């Protein structure tokens, strides 16, 4: 292929600047190989052991289940494959694979019977029992989340610019439209929020943080009723491995705050955040810049207040937008936005913020990423499947930056279908296996 030398060059460049995958995957690597960077066999084997332990205990308590036989590693992989298939076909229930309807899929349905799948679903566990020292509500998946985090940290170096945000986990709008009010209210009451630190040039999610809304938080965050205070704790947790790396972190109004940014600066983490006098913790910021007494009135104009490296910028474009940053010089010009009404100058900090956040928003569309649509009732299971969805997204990003991509060039959907088939044993994983 003629483009190959260029591809090589680009990949070498990634390694040179230290961005992207930390290890070279062979060109023959399969979708499964990339997924298993984050969910390796030892993690799956542990799910097998824990599920079997849970099923045993359950039957000791509630009577034996004649239809149950211990789950195997092969079946556990197939079980994951079925769940993951809902992220490609966007079907509301995984069981529709075995139906005769629109989402039925004979070729994959034959691998396991629906009743066997439902049995595994009934007993599925990552941690079967609470140990005596566990105090927090996520103990049922904490070891899994820790191992996932380890995989994210060791497999990928994010770019310098990253965004802290709460990715959308909302329903498909079509589904919402057909949902009853009551059903919708029940679904809205999700008992956790999930935050991420995401590389703004690749979309790779480097760190996740799960906050349980009620009770049982090991972090004591549930006692913080104050939102900015909570979000500042979340931000610190998301950046706990980021010190000394010269990162630039973009934040939304609920996280942006002077005390937080100053604390980050001591760790050589620089920030650029949108500020809202209503939603942000405005401790230490000059009131004259926050109330509307001194805002510029023409589009493209701005006022600046500085303290050390920190600047507060109030930029006017159909209304005042306030930014707090120590990552960009406030006097450095960015793009000039061209409108019919004229040219609107924009400080570099504002341009950078818009560019990095809009990238994430574009990426954060349900149909441009994997999102397992199975909706379990239990919070730990909701978090688990969401975390698996993130792992597949990360796997695809690593794949696209590897030589394997230049051999097969799978689209997102094709990569997902390959992964499902490999998990179901319908396709050999990689030749090296
Ligand atoms: C805004 O803040 C300035 C400086 O503290 C103050 O003089 C002014 O009265 C305030 N304006 C409003 C509308 O609150
Ligand atoms: C401003 O940032 C530089 C590094 O970019 C640092 O050396 C310096 O101490 C900072 N100044 C203040 C006042 O924080
Ligand atoms: C969730 O709970 C409802 C009612 O308790 C039950 O009908 C439904 O099957 C459960 N869903 C799952 C996926 O377990
Ligand atoms: C069934 O699922 C597999 C794996 O995702 C996919 O490759 C295949 O195209 C699907 N078949 C139909 C008829 O949807």
Comparing 351 with 16, which gets the higher pLDDT? 351
Three-state secondary structure readout of 59-110: HHHHCCCCCCCCCCHHHHHHHHHHHHHHHHHCCCCHHHHHCCCCCCCHHHHC
CA-proximal residue: ligand 1, atom 4 (nearest): 288
C-alpha 182 – ligand 3 centre gap (Å):
15
CA-proximal residue: ligand 3, atom 2 (nearest): 377
DSSP category for residue 297: -
pLDDT of residue 173: 45
Per the domain annotation, does 237 fall within a domain? no
pLDDT of residue 8: 53
pLDDT of residue 128: 93
Range with lowest mean pLDDT among 46-50, 104-108, 339-343, 357-361: 357-361
DSSP characters over 361-425: HHHT-GGGS-------SSHHHHHHHHHHHHHHHHHHHHHHTSHHHHHH---HHHHHHHHHHHHTT
Q: Cα–Cα distance between 254 and 280 in angstroms, integer?
A: 5
DSSP category for residue 252: -
CA-proximal residue: ligand 4, atom 11 (nearest): 105
Per the domain annotation, does 401 fall within a domain? yes
C-alpha 288 – ligand 1 centre gap (Å):
6
Q: Cα–Cα distance between 121 and 282 in angstroms, integer?
A: 47
Beta carbons within 10 angstroms of residue 177's beta carbon: 8
Counting ligand 2 atoms within 8 A of each CB, the residue from 271, 308, 310, 329 with the most, and so the one to mutate, is 308
Comparing 419 with 300, which gets the higher pLDDT? 419
Per the domain annotation, does 176 fall within a domain? no
CA-proximal residue: ligand 3, atom 1 (nearest): 377
C-alpha 208 – ligand 1 centre gap (Å):
40
Pocket of ligand 4 (CB under 6 A): 85, 88, 105, 107-108, 417, 420-421
Tens digit of pLDDT for each residue in 350-403? Answer: 999 988 877 666 655 555 678 888 888 899 999 999 999 999 999 999 999 999
pLDDT of residue 220: 47
The domain in which residue 34 lies consists of: 26-134+380-423
**pLDDT exceeds 50 at position 246:** yes
Per the domain annotation, does 408 fall within a domain? yes
pLDDT of residue 73: 98
pLDDT of residue 433: 45
Beta carbons within 10 angstroms of residue 224's beta carbon: 17
Structure tokens at 328: 């960009």
pLDDT of residue 396: 95
> Which 3 state secondary structure label does DSSP give 270?
strand
C-alpha 196 – ligand 4 centre gap (Å):
31
Q: Cα–Cα distance between 320 and 303 in angstroms, integer?
A: 10
**pLDDT exceeds 90 at position 228:** no
288 Cβ inside 6 Å of ligand 1? yes
CA-proximal residue: ligand 3, atom 7 (nearest): 377
Q: How far is CA 71 from CA 68, 74, 124, 309, 421, in A?
A: 9, 8, 9, 58, 19
The CA angle 4-24-27, to the nearest 5 degrees, is 50
Give the chain's domain count: 1
DSSP category for residue 294: G
Tens digit of pLDDT for each residue in 47-100? Answer: 999 999 999 999 999 999 999 999 999 999 999 999 999 988 877 789 999 998
φ, ψ at 156 (rounded to 5°): -150, 135
C-alpha 358 – ligand 4 centre gap (Å):
33
C-alpha 371 – ligand 4 centre gap (Å):
17
377 Cβ inside 6 Å of ligand 1? no
Percent of the chain past pLDDT 70, that is, above it, reads: 83
Output the average pLDDT for the chain.
Answer: 85
User: Rounded mean pLDDT of 183-198?
Assistant: 76
CA-proximal residue: ligand 1, atom 14 (nearest): 291
Which atom of ligand 4 approaches the CA of 85 most closely? 5
DSSP characters over 339-355: ETTEEEEEEHHHHHHHH
pLDDT of residue 217: 45
Counting ligand 1 atoms within 8 A of each CB, the residue from 293, 320, 322 with the most, and so the one to mutate, is 293
C-alpha 369 – ligand 4 centre gap (Å):
18
Tens digit of pLDDT for each residue in 275-309? Answer: 998 889 999 999 888 887 777 778 888 899 999 99
CA-proximal residue: ligand 4, atom 5 (nearest): 417
Q: Cα–Cα distance between 227 and 213 in angstroms, integer?
A: 12
The CA angle 17-268-357, to the nearest 5 degrees, is 70
> What spatial distance separates the first Cα and last Cα of the chain, rounded to whole Å?
27
Q: Cα–Cα distance between 373 and 77 in angstroms, integer?
A: 18
CA-proximal residue: ligand 4, atom 12 (nearest): 105
Per the domain annotation, does 413 fall within a domain? yes
Per the domain annotation, does 428 fall within a domain? no
Per the domain annotation, does 388 fall within a domain? yes
Q: Cα–Cα distance between 63 and 46 in angstroms, integer?
A: 25
pLDDT of residue 174: 46
> Band of the pLDDT at 227, cuts 50, 70, 90?
confident
CA-proximal residue: ligand 2, atom 5 (nearest): 309
φ, ψ at 365 (rounded to 5°): -95, 135
Per the domain annotation, does 211 fall within a domain? no
291 Cβ inside 6 Å of ligand 1? yes
Under 8 Å between Cβ of 50 and 144: no
287 Cβ inside 6 Å of ligand 1? yes
């Amino acid at each position: 292929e003629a483009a190959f030398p260029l591809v090589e060059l680009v990949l070498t460049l990634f390694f040179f600047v230290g961005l992207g995958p930390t290890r070279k995957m062979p060109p023959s690597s399969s979708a499964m190989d990339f997924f298993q960077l984050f969910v390796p066999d030892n993690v799956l084997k542990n799910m097998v052991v824990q599920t079997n332990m849970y099923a045993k205990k359950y039957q000791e308590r509630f009577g034996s289940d004649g239809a149950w036989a211990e789950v195997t590693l092969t079946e556990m992989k197939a079980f994951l494959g079925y769940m993951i298939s809902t992220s490609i076909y966007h079907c509301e229930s995984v069981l529709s694979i075995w139906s005769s309807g629109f989402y039925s899929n004979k070729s994959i349905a034959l691998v396991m019977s629906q009743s066997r799948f439902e049995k595994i679903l009934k007993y599925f566990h990552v941690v079967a029992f609470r140990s005596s020292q566990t105090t927090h509500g996520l103990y049922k998946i904490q070891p899994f989340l820790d191992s996932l985090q380890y995989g994210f940290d060791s497999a990928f170096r994010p770019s310098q610019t990253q965004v802290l945000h709460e990715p959308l986990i909302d329903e498909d709008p079509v589904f919402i439209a057909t949902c009853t009010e009551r059903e919708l209210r029940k679904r809205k009451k999700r008992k956790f929020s999930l935050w991420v630190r995401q590389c703004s040039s690749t979309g790779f999610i480097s760190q996740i943080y799960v906050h349980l809304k009620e009770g049982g938080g090991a972090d004591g965050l549930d006692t913080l009723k104050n939102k900015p205070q909570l979000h500042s704790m979340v931000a610190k947790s998301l950046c706990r491995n980021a010190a000394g790396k010269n990162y630039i972190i973009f934040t939304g109004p609920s996280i942006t705050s002077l005390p937080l940014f100053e604390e980050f600066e001591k760790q050589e983490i620089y920030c650029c955040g949108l500020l809202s006098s209503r939603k942000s913790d405005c401790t230490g910021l000059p009131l004259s810049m926050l109330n509307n007494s001194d805002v510029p009135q023409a589009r493209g104009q701005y006022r600046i207040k500085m303290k050390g490296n920190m600047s507060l910028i109030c930029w006017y474009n159909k209304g005042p937008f306030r930014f707090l940053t120590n990552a960009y010089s406030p006097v450095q010009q960015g793009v000039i936005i061209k409108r019919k009404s004229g040219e609107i100058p924009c400080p570099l900090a504002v341009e950078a913020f818009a560019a990095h956040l809009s990238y994430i928003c574009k990426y954060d569309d349900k149909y441009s990423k994997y999102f397992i649509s199975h909706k379990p009732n239990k919070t730990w299971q909701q978090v688990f499947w969401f975390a698996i969805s993130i792992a597949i997204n990360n796997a695809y990003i690593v794949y696209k930056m590897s030589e394997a991509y230049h051999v097969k060039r799978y689209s997102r959907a094709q990569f997902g279908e390959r992964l499902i088939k490999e998990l179901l044993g319908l396709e050999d994983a990689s030749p090296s296996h």
